[in-house]
Structures are given as structure tokens and as C-alpha cells.
Structure 1
Amino acid sequence: MAGHSQFKNIMHRKGRQDAVRSKMFSKLAREITVAAKTGMPDPDMNPRLRLAIQNAKAQSMPKDNIQRAINKAAGNDGENYEEVRYEGYGPGGVALIVEALTDNRNRTASNVRAAFTKAGGALGETGSVSFLWDRVGEIVYKPAAGDADAVMEAAIEAGADDVQSDEDGHVILCAFGDIGEVTSALEKALGEAESVKTIWKPQTNTHVDEDRARSILKLVATLEDDDDVQNVYANFEVDDETMAKLSAA
């Protein structure tokens, strides 16, 4: 399994829960507002907004917070967020993609560049590392959705490309353009998903040792702590022994 998803779980366990939750709600609200502004404020008529609301509910975001985020878009409150993608290399030659929603490109670019530089990495031009990744749809279900065989069968029927099941649940991957159809088919078979989103999936992962892994983890944490940053992807992996050490640290 790719290292970043594992490290993200470690960080959430170790982080101050209230602070982490507050920042997560802020990022979810920003995505809802942008989705509502770029399309219809009605989730039934706006697939991106529907997914944003679904993901917010999966994280137990209160209904009032969700509605306020939608109302901000309808009220034209003056906040115009722009979608920006940054690409670069971190410690050990690990490639990273950083997605942001910002109302100030200069501020966000400066913060992201500083994080890369401090970690001993380098921010590159758009396209400098994205060719190493595939843009795909990711649909996540909790373990209660069914056993691995049942979920696999449902995923195949829905037209998905891959399924990864473990004790934490089921991750279903599909082609970027098929995410709407696959999600709808899975809902009929398995119920509503825990989350539905598009992600960057690395074509290959770079194996790193404990020291490099710790450095990458710190860089990812710094980036994800920035209010403008929505998602961070890194193409690295570590062995189980190293993962156990980092989890216990």
C-alpha cells in the first residue's frame, strides 16, 4: 500500500482531534462553496456539489455548516477561490502533487514553496510530476458494506477497475470519467459510500527508509496544515517494520 495513505491515518490519530476536525470542516466547507459557485446550488443538479456534501456528511460535518457553505456561494460574499495545482519533489526524490483552493495565489504559492524548500525538496512547474500519476475515481466503503468477495462482485458489475479491501474497509477505483455511473451503480448494491472523490494515483511508488519517510511525513503534515491546501499526494512506500516504528513514535 502507498505510504501516504498510511501516514495520513497515523497523523489523524496523533493530531489534536478538535483542531484537526475544525480544519477539516473548513476545507470541506470551502469545497462545498466552490462546487456550488461553479455549478447549480442544488446538489441534485450539480454532481460536484453532491459529492462534496456527501463527503462532508461522511466526516460528520453538521448540516448547518453544510448549508452555510452553500449559502455563501448563493450570497456572492466576495470570496472567489481558485483551483491551483502544485507539483514537485520531496526528500528521497519522492514526487508530490498538492491541490489547493485559494483566494490569493501569491500567498499559497509562497507557503507551498517554503514547505518544499525547508524539507530539502523543490517545487517544479505544472506537469513536472503529474505524468507519473493517473487521475482516477475513488469510492470508499466501510467494512459493514460487506465482505471482500461481495464488494468485489458489486464493483465488477458497476464497471470499476480495482478494489482494495482490508480491516479498515473497501477502496474502489474507477476511470475518472466513469465515477458518476460507477457510484450510482454501487449505491444500488451497497448503499451510500463513505466518500467519493477523484484522486491522483501513482503509477509506481518510491521505496524510502525510515529517515526519508519521517521527512516526507513532516512535509506532508506541513502542507496539509495550510488552510488553502485541500489534498496532498505522494508516491512513496515503506516496509512494514518501518511503518510500525513510525506508528509507535
Structure 2
Amino acid sequence: MAGHSKFKNIMHRKGAQDKKRSAMFSKLSREITVAAKMGLPDPDMNPRLRAAINAAKAQSMPKDNIQRAIDKASKGEGENYEEVRYEGFGPGGVALIVEALTDNRNRTATNVRTAITKNGGNMGASGSVSHGFERLGLIEYPGHVGDEDKVLEAAIEAGADDVESDGDSHAVWTSVDSLHEVARALEQTLGAADGVKLAWRPNMRAEVGEDDARLLLKLIDALDDDDDVQTVWGNYDIPDAVMERLG
């Protein structure tokens, strides 16, 4: 297990935490409702719902908001969302996978394509970049739960496959099938995770220079601002020094 490699956040820059809370809560609510509709509305019996609720709690989403999203699913209310995935390339040839929950495929496809093409990238066909990623389970913890050795030991005991840590966070990687089993085991030793989800992990990462990084971050922000887009994955590696200069 390669437990001492430095974790690079491949979803979005840390500054994305500053997005409007209402938009973030809307996305979290959508995932909770979809998860509850796809399975039982009981998080103890529905691993995806449990993960969605944990993610909402990690972002300090009010309990009332969480319950309303579950109730909406239980009553069969609200839109029927479907999961869609888009693949493409960002500045510098960076590979991107965009996951969305939508009630209108045409709208979402148009918005995603526009965001990518306006910011130095281009859309690709299905499978054009996903072959360069692994589909895995990802469990995320903040850095304050413990040092690398503590998290690594807990992950090994829980049956995880890999851990990547830096000073701010820990990423525990598992197979898709063992994600929720490992998450439950880690919860006993480290507490509730910030996130439990299926993820796309790149087989190789591409270092991005400052000019491309500036445009890439603008592109990711544009995608994040779309209500339908849930997650953006990429194979980019922006050096710390570049991130500091870009703010």
C-alpha cells in the first residue's frame, strides 16, 4: 500500500469551498433525493444515501434540509434526475470527467460543452478519457483526524487499498465493491468521513503550467457553478508554487 504519496485534490481547487452555500446545498440535496429514490429512505439500509447524508453533514448542511430532501423522495415528489457523464479535455490536454444529475440531458450537455469550449478545452466522445482512470471508492477525511501513520494503520485494518495524505486531508482508496464496508470500519476508529463516494482516479497525472492552470481553474469553476454538475475529476497536477501565485 503506497501510503505516503502526497494527495493532490483532483476534484477542484481548495478555493471552491467558498462557493455560495445555497448552490452547494442544492447539489447535496439533489444527491440525497436521488439516493433515497434509488433505494430505501433509511440510511442504515442504503449505503449511497448514508454517504450523501455524511457529505451534507460535513458541509454543515442543516438537519431540516437533509430531512426535506429525504421526505421529497419518500413522497415521490420533485424531479426525476438521471446520472450522466461527460468526458473531455481542458487546457494543456488535461483529461476531464464531469458527472451530473439532470432532469434535462440537452440542457446539461449544452451547458457543459459551453463551459469547456469557452475555457480552452473541447468535449470528447464517451470513453475518450475514462480509459486513463480507475473507477474506485474514495473516503475523505480532514487532516485533523490524525497523522499519516494513524490514518494508514486504520485504513489497513479496515481493508482499504491505498492512502494519500497531505497536511490538509487524507484520501482512502478502496475497490468499488468494498467502499461502504471500509467506510463503516473507518468510522469506528476515525469518526464520520467528510465524503464517501465513487471516484475516478487517474492512472497518471499531468503537471500543468501557470498559464494553463489559470484557464483550467476558470473552467472548473464554470462547471462547478452549474446546478446539474455534481463532480469534476481530472488528471491535472498543479504545483503548490503555481497555486500560490494564482491565489
Same fold, TM-score > 0.5, yes or no: yes
TM-score w.r.t. length of structure 1: 0.92
**Which residue in the other structure is 2:14 paired with?**
9
**Which residue in the other structure is 1:160 paired with?**
160
Q: C-alpha displacement at 1:202, in angstroms?
A: 0.7
Q: Is the 8 A contact 1:138 1:171 kept in 2?
A: yes
Equivalent position amino acid for 1:196 in 2 = V
Q: Is the 8 A contact 1:2 1:205 kept in 2?
A: no
**Which residue in the other structure is 2:245 paired with?**
245
**Which residue in the other structure is 1:77 paired with?**
77
Distance 1:217-1:109 versus aligned 2 partners, 3 A rule: same
**Which residue in the other structure is 2:194 paired with?**
194
Equivalent position amino acid for 1:50 in 2 = R
Equivalent position amino acid for 2:126 in 1 = T
Equivalent position amino acid for 1:8 in 2 = R
In the TM superposition, 1:67-106 aligns within 5 A as 67-106=67-106
Q: C-alpha displacement at 1:137, in angstroms?
A: 1.3
| Cα distance in structure 2, aligned partners of 1:99 and 1:138 | 15
Q: Aligned to 1:43, what secondary structure does the other structure show?
A: coil
Q: Aligned to 1:176, what secondary structure does the other structure show?
A: coil
1:133-154 deviation digits (Å, cap 9, x = unpaired): 0111111223332222121111
Equivalent position amino acid for 1:11 in 2 = A
Q: C-alpha displacement at 1:180, in angstroms?
A: 1.3
1:29-60 deviation digits (Å, cap 9, x = unpaired): 00000001111111111111111111111111
Question: What residue ranges of structure 2 are gaps of 5+ in the alignment?
Answer: 1-6
**Which residue in the other structure is 2:39 paired with?**
39
Q: Aligned to 2:26, what secondary structure does the other structure show?
A: helix
**Which residue in the other structure is 2:123 paired with?**
123
* Structure 1 position 229 matched with structure 2 position 229: yes
Equivalent position amino acid for 1:203 in 2 = N
The percent of aligned pairs where both chains have the same amino acid is: 60
* Structure 1 position 185 matched with structure 2 position 190: no
1:104-129 deviation digits (Å, cap 9, x = unpaired): 00000010111111123111121111
Question: What residue ranges of structure 1 are gaps of 5+ in the alignment?
Answer: none
Q: Aligned to 1:134, what secondary structure does the other structure show?
A: strand
Distance 1:142-1:239 versus aligned 2 partners, 3 A rule: closer
Q: Is the 8 A contact 1:135 1:200 kept in 2?
A: yes
Q: C-alpha displacement at 1:211, in angstroms?
A: 0.5
Q: Is the 8 A contact 1:160 1:174 kept in 2?
A: yes
Q: Aligned to 1:108, what secondary structure does the other structure show?
A: helix
**Which residue in the other structure is 1:24 paired with?**
24
| Cα distance in structure 1, aligned partners of 2:122 and 2:31 | 27
Distance 1:154-1:228 versus aligned 2 partners, 3 A rule: same
Q: Aligned to 2:224, what secondary structure does the other structure show?
A: helix
Q: C-alpha displacement at 1:78, in angstroms?
A: 4.4
Structure 1 runs (4+) deviating above 6 angstroms are none
Distance 1:153-1:3 versus aligned 2 partners, 3 A rule: closer
In the TM superposition, 1:117-156 aligns within 5 A as 117-156=117-156
1:209-232 deviation digits (Å, cap 9, x = unpaired): 100001110111001100000000
Q: Is the 8 A contact 1:141 1:170 kept in 2?
A: yes
* Structure 1 position 114 matched with structure 2 position 119: no
Q: Aligned to 1:86, what secondary structure does the other structure show?
A: strand
Equivalent position amino acid for 2:144 in 1 = A
Q: CA RMSD in A?
A: 1.5
Q: Is the 8 A contact 1:3 1:235 kept in 2?
A: no
Distance 1:142-1:120 versus aligned 2 partners, 3 A rule: closer
Q: Aligned to 1:44, what secondary structure does the other structure show?
A: coil
Q: C-alpha displacement at 1:3, in angstroms?
A: 6.1
